[in-house]
Structure 1
Amino acid sequence: MPTGLGQAKRCMAAPSTTICAQGACPRGLPEEKMTTIHGSDEMTSKALMPTLSVCMIVKDEEKLLGQCLDSVTGVADEIIIVDTGSTDRTVEIARQYTDKIFFHQWQDSFSEARNHSLSYATCDWILQIDADEELFQEDIPVLRGALAAAQNVPDIDAILVALLSDLPGKITSKHYFPRIHRRGRAHYEGIVHNQLVYQGKDMIAEIRFRHYGYALSPEEMARKAQRSEALLLRQIAEDPDNTFAWRNLLRIYRNRGDYDKVVERGQWVIDHPRATAEQRHSVSSDMMVALTKMARYEEAEDVGLRALKELPDDLDIIYYLGMLHMASGQLDKAVSRLKQFLSVKRAESRVGPRFSLLTMDHYASEAAAWNNIGQCDQRQGRAAEAAEAYRHAIESDPDQEGFYTNLAFALLQMGEVAQAESVLQKAAGRGVATAAAFKMLGDTLYLQHRLQESEAAYRRAIDFDQTDTDAHLGLGRALGGMGRLSDAADSLAKALELNPASRIAWLAWVKVHHRLGDRHETVSGLDRLLALGGLGCQENLTLAAISISLEAYDRAAAFLETYLQEKPEDVGALANLATCYAKMGRYAAALEGYRAVLHSDPENASVRRNLRALQRRLVRETAVQ
């Protein structure tokens, strides 16, 4: 989740008039104050267009800088880059786009650096963008139209745009805030998560920017959070009632798993008179997540319900209510909330993007909502309903592997093996299948006795993840089914190297080595399974039979004893156990076992013969003594 985003601070006390692009206007705005911008040729004519400076501050941004600059070259009249100490190829890349590159020592303040970049701008308007962002190319006409419209309204000093942030967990958040402002009429404040302060009014345009700065590796995110935390703590030391800084700091704590800190300070921020609606929304979300993780579900729900009193259609709060109900096992309530989330999203889609100053982490989580509904249904044994929900999830986002594997699993529960295979083949055909989907595809093909195809699927899974125990196990089983026993043994050895406690792998190991005639490895596997325990009835019976064939009667007896605890009525197993006792020299136990069988099955001829033979043997041994 974002660690925090900047916001606008207006110098004027009076509410600002808002002009909306593409119909994305706040609800309740008087109709006469609304202007819709469509980016027509007349409005965007170069002769009539105001000029635009793109201003950036950068440091070690070689990974994404080129992508960012490519996205704005079509609208920028000048590009100004202030480098604060790069040691990689950042400056080299920047020189391919502009000669207005300046060097400035980092002062531990984003605002100071941003304001320095603004000082070099010469155009009518300034667009501030970061290297880990890019402008949607299809929104360039909207941007030009917004500039043309704002240029003709002298008291408009800022344009709010839509920032779509890619978050960990394949989540997309959305937030509107000012990124374009009239030159000389605005500046930044705040050493971190800086805020644009402008004198006049603002307008809103559905100009979208994609932000990649939160979809980083765990190590990169940790470094970024550590830097931001230090700066936020400085701000709070200077102003302990800075609810904006607290809001961003609590998000860092939440992302790091410091849930006690979130709960300890969260309610104070929510109740603070300086807290804005956006801050209350964000901190309420953080508190709900923290309390849910701490299994304090009633408190989490209370926070959410109070937040909904202020903002009844708050997507994040509704979504987190659904998630806390899932975590607490209230699955029907979870489904109800998640469907409410989807209903709010559908209502918005009918009228176009809805303007909001809230940062919506789950703005684009329709697919995730459907997936969670499917999991709720599946946990309640409603496989058909779960499958339908997973289909909706795939329809909403066809590039998430987990949706396909969840659907396939539901179909397998329904006995629809061929349909499950078809779903997984679609994932593979779309290019979203990795180890999980190919492993499950191998399973479905194995169930259909299509062993060569199954082998190929398992090998694809292993190509994606050499450490996937189940893929190596599946491959071993498929190879064993084709009679390639030595290759099967190698695959099973790899599975057991990865997970020495895998009962299923040891069971397959025993079967393969028994077929190879390798008594030593077979008995070694039997001993391992006895030590692990936890086998099912049929597995114990199978292993007992293998043990008897090897004349490993002590091991056979152990498996049969465990089996009979669950199936005491199985007189055949009891007879085999008695025979094992006899072979082990435990004659009293053998006699007791045979007599118990005959008590249940008096006509059992083989047991009668075994009993008579045992009795004669005991008579001979007694006579010898």
Structure 2
Amino acid sequence: MKLSLCMIVKNEGAVLGQCLESVRGLVDEVIIVDTGSSDKTREIAQHFVGEVGGSVVDFTWVDDFSAARNESLKHATGDWILVLDADEVIAQQDHAKIKQAIKKASEKSDKSDKTGAKVQGFYLKTRNYLPREQGFDFTSSKGDHYAETKNYPGWKDLPVIRLFRNQHRYAGIIHESVEPSIFKLRELPEYKHTSVSDLIEHLDVPVHHYGFVLGDEHQQREKAEAYFRMGEKKIRETPSAKAYLEQGRRYLELQEYRQALHCFQTALVHDPQATYVFPDLIFCCGKLLMYEDADLYFEQAMTFRKNDLNALMAYGLVNIQRRTFDRAINCFSKLLQAAPKRTLAYYALAVSFYELGNLLESYKQLTKCVQLNPHFVDAHDLLAKLLIANKKYDKAYVVLRKVIELDDDRPDAYFNLALVCKRLGRQDQFEDYRARALQLGVNDKMKAALFKS
């Protein structure tokens, strides 16, 4: 079975080569649609296509991802399609899994069964690597066996159909998908009794995505603005639960919680079965101090999805905010039983125990947290405060040095470093750290402590 890699690119010269090399030996041809590059993207693409086969196609960008994706599919001659972006790679060790999956699906389709169904595509989990702890569902890279993971503290997973038969086309101007094309098959008599899981299977192969850790700030801002604009257009032209969910999450990034809440509530109106929106609803209600509404949404989440880990995380954070720490501890403890690598949950547990005065348990949870994610700066910061409270100044010094290594703009960390050095009799370091704390800006109480004899 022939496999075609289909891509859309623009000014991806810095990363495209790595992406293409990651699929050498896996794909039989490469179709690259260029939407207006002005760097070496086209040159890199042409060189690889010359070696592997395929084509590089020019396409004018029209603010529509599906249009560009479908242009690439139009030129593909493979039986199956693999879709990647330039800032993504497939691990060499997963090539065999992909080949075996399409071979098995193709063999299965040749055999008749009672539904007449055949597998149309596969969900692959996109691992969105992040530079720091972020979001409800951040997974630590500690102990992960992929070499592609080693330089980053962790990721957030998102299942997306990346591998599918070359008969389907994309829909949606942003967050485009071939799902509608695949689901349309269920209107045919031979697919009438077919379930979604018969048509689309989950393949245990991650797509390693580095866009959030490699792009510069200007590129990230431009991309976010473009996505927001297209998200508004998508809601106007094809309103759906998914469209409102996506736009709500963009409002969350802007900390526009009232608008985000409206989007999430509208998503439920469009599809009452869209229970995946409950964690976002709970989180927004917490930010808007609508605690009774958060309680109701959490109750609904647990009714529809008893193991909704993101709802547990969101509700736990809301209970920290409202200072009902016993409830928060209950949420995070349940979550960690099911997902023991959720580092944010360990940190949130530590905060809850700290606020209740249980410093020993707080210390235990922080230790687990920083073991899983050595880059979690807030966890190191709280750990240092616990060590200072226990007069373990040497250890506190080491931890605080880690804090400023991770984030050099924390006045409270420099304040604590200055006081620790003073306790340890390191006068020169005390004066250096005091100067930095004052430069960054500390409150009057801290300032007085720094000049106290």
Maintained 8 Å contact 2:88/2:210: yes
Q: Distance in 1 between matches of 2:426 and 2:392?
A: 16
Distance 1:230 1:424 in 2: 42
Tell me if the contact between 1:139 and 1:207 (Cα under 8 Å) persists in the aligned partners: yes
Match of 2:300 in 1: 306
Gaps of 5+ in 1: 1-49, 347-363, 456-473, 478-490, 510-538, 543-625
Name the CA shift for 1:392/1:115 in 2 (closer, same or farther; >3 Å). same
2:108 to 133, 138, 153: 153
The aligned residue for residue 381 of structure 1 is 357
Q: Is the 8 A contact 2:309 2:335 kept in 1?
A: yes
**1:21 aligns to what?**
none
Whether the 8 Å contact between 1:163 and 1:208 is mirrored in structure 2 is yes
Distance 1:143 1:438, change over 3 A: farther
Q: Aligned-pair distance for 1:310?
A: 0.8
Query: Using a 3 Å threshold, how does the CA distance of structure 1 residues 324 and 218 change in structure 2: closer, same or farther?
Result: farther
Pick from 238, 246, 250: which aligns with 1:248?
Answer: 246
Which one-letter code corresponds to 1:204 in the other structure? H
Instruction: Report what 2:265 is aligned to.
Output: 267
* Matched-pair contact (CA < 8 Å) for 2:280–2:314: no
d(CA) in 2 for partners of 1:495 and 1:51?
Answer: 61
What residue in structure 2 maps to residue 136 of structure 1? 91
Say whether the 8 Å CA contact 1:383–1:413 is kept in structure 2: no
Instruction: Confirm whether residue 163 of structure 1 aligns to residue 139 of structure 2.
Output: no
What corresponds to 1:466 in structure 2?
A: none
Contact conserved, 1:80 with 1:121, CA < 8 A, in 2? yes
Return the alpha-carbon distance in structure 2 between the equivalents of residues 63 and 91 of structure 1.
12
- The 3 A distance-change label for structure 1 pair 367 and 326 is same
- 1:178 equivalenced with 2:133 (yes/no): no
Q: Distance in 2 between matches of 1:324 and 1:287?
A: 11
3-state secondary structure, aligned to 1:189: coil
Distance 1:502 1:80, change over 3 A: same
Which residue of structure 1 aligns with residue 175 of structure 2?
A: 193
Inter-partner Cα distance in structure 2 for 1:443 and 1:500 = 13
User: Aligned to 1:204, what secondary structure does the other structure show?
Assistant: strand
Q: Percent identity?
A: 26
- Quick one: which amino acid aligns to residue 369 of structure 1? A
Matched, 1:226 2:234: no
Tell me the alpha carbon deviations over residues 574-623 of structure 1, each in whole angstroms, 9 at most, x when there is no partner: xxxxxxxxxxxxxxxxxxxxxxxxxxxxxxxxxxxxxxxxxxxxxxxxxx
Query: What are the ranges of 5 or more consecutive residues in structure 2 without an aligned counterpart?
Result: 110-117, 135-154, 186-190, 192-198
Matched residues, number? 401
Given that 1:383 and 1:410 are in contact with CA atoms closer than 8 Å, whether structure 2 keeps it comes out as yes
Q: Deviations over 1:51-81 (max 9, x none)?
A: 3211100112234323322322241222211
The one of the two structures with greater contact order (alpha-carbon pairs below 8 A, sep at least 6) is 2
Select which of 36, 51, 61 maps to 2:12.
61
Aligned equivalent of 2:61: 106
Give the Cα separation in 2 of the matches to 1:137 and 1:438.
42
Q: Deviations over 1:162-202 (max 9, x none)?
A: 1122357533322223111122x211111111110224722
In structure 2, C-alpha distance between the alignment counterparts of 1:70 and 1:444, rounded to whole Å:
50
| 2:344 is equivalent to residue 368 of structure 1 | yes
Summarize the Cα distance change of 1:209–1:410 in structure 2 as closer, same or farther, 3 Å threshold.
same
- Residue 317 to residue 238, structure 1, CA distance change in 2 (3 Å): same
SS at match of 1:123: coil
Q: Map 1:13-32; keep pairs closer than 5 Å.
A: none
Query: In structure 1, what is the Cα distance between the partners aligned to 2:207 and 2:40?
Result: 24
1:532-562 per-position Cα deviation (integer Å, ceiling 9, x unaligned): xxxxxxx5xx7xxxxxxxxxxxxxxxxxxxx
1:394-409 to structure 2, matched below 5 A, reads 394-409=370-385
SS of the equivalent of 2:173 reads: coil
Give the SS at the match of 2:161: strand
User: Counterparts of 1:62 and 1:174 in 2: how far apart (Å)?
Assistant: 26
Once residues 209 and 444 of structure 1 are traced to their aligned partners in structure 2, the CA distance between those partners, rounded to angstroms, is 45
Tell me the CA shift for residue 422 of structure 1: 5.3
CA distance in 1, matches of 2:399, 2:233: 53
Please state whether the residue corresponding to 1:251 is helix, strand or coil: helix
CA contact 2:132–2:375 (8 Å) conserved in 1 = no
Q: Distance in 2 between matches of 1:301 and 1:212?
A: 36
1:441 positional shift: 5.6
2:366 equivalent in structure 1: 390
Q: Is the 8 A contact 2:132 2:376 kept in 1?
A: no
C-alpha distance in structure 2 between counterparts of 1:202 and 1:508, whole Å: 62
Partner of 1:79: 30
Q: CA RMSD in A?
A: 2.9
| CA contact 2:7–2:84 (8 Å) conserved in 1 | yes
Q: Aligned partners of 1:500, 1:412: CA distance in 2, in Å?
A: 19
Report the counterpart of residue 195 of structure 2 in structure 1. none
Task: Kindly provide the amino acid, as one letter, of the partner of residue 120 in structure 2.
Answer: D
1:476/1:245 CA distance change after superposition, 3 Å: closer
Distance 1:306 1:218, change over 3 A: farther
Greater CA drift, 199-208 or 168-177: 168-177
The offset of 1:374, in angstroms, is: 0.9
Mapped contact 1:384–1:414 kept (Cα < 8 A) = no
Q: Partner residue of 2:283? A: 289
When residues 311 and 325 of structure 1 are mapped into structure 2, their CA distance, relative to the original with a 3 A threshold, is same
- Residues in 1 aligned to 2:286 and 2:383: alpha-carbon distance in whole angstroms: 27
Look up the equivalent residue of 1:306 and give its one-letter code.
Answer: Q
Cα displacement (A) at 1:119: 1.6
Mapped to 2, the partners of 1:285 and 1:168 lie a distance apart of: 23
Aligned equivalent of 1:448, options 418, 424, 444: 424
Partner of 2:209: 211
Return the letter of the residue paired with 2:200: D
Using a 3 Å threshold, how does the CA distance of structure 1 residues 217 and 373 change in structure 2: closer, same or farther?
A: farther
SS of equivalent to 1:250: helix
Q: Which residue of 2 aligns with 1:126?
A: 81
TM norm structure 2: 0.79
Relative distance call for 1:220 and 1:291 in structure 2 (3 A) is farther
SS in 1 for 2:120: strand
User: What is the SS of the residue equivalent to 2:204?
Assistant: strand
Cα pair 2:33 2:59 within 8 Å, conserved: yes
Give the Cα–Cα distance (whole angstroms) in 1 for the partners of residues 267 and 227 of structure 2: 19
Q: Any idea what SS the aligned residue of 1:139 has? A: helix
Matched residue of 2:61: which SS?
coil
Aligned to 2:312: 318
Question: For the Cα contact (< 8 Å) 1:383–1:414, is it kept in 2?
Answer: no
Is the Cα–Cα contact under 8 Å of residues 350 and 362 in structure 2 kept in the other structure? yes
Per-residue CA deviations over 1:125-169 (Å, capped at 9, x if unaligned) read 110111222223332332222122222122222122111223575
| TM score, norm. by length of structure 1 | 0.59
Q: Contact conserved, 1:270 with 1:284, CA < 8 A, in 2? A: no
- CA 1:75–1:418 in 2, change beyond 3 Å: closer, same or farther? same
